[in-house]
Amino acid sequence: MLILLFVVPSICFVCSLIYGIKHSFHIIYPAIVAVLFLPTIFIFFNSTAWVYALAYGAIALIGNVIGMIFYKHSNKSAG
């Protein structure tokens, strides 16, 4: 349970932050994160875990937006 609530969301946030810093904001990235979590619901969890797909998508969206801010800031200072 600790992994599902803390470790995976932290990794998801860090990965989306790095993606946002390198590639700016893409709305498709959080959607892909949420969609790719859906098969794990049926393989590893029960049907009550579907809300985690939305949560991971939201976490990826937040990380991607924060990464976009760093991306824009680094491009302004670079030239």
Question: Mean pLDDT for the chain?
Answer: 92
Share of the chain above pLDDT 70, in %: 97
Query: 17 vs 34, 38, 59, 78, CA distance in Å?
Result: 16, 22, 10, 20
Which residues contact residue 9 at a Cβ distance below 8 angstroms, ignoring those fewer than 6 apart? Answer: 55, 56, 59
Q: Is the dihedral of CA 43, 62, 16, 12 positive or negative?
A: negative
pLDDT, tens only, 39-76:
998 998 888 889 999 999 999 999 999 999 999 988 88
Global pTM reads 0.88
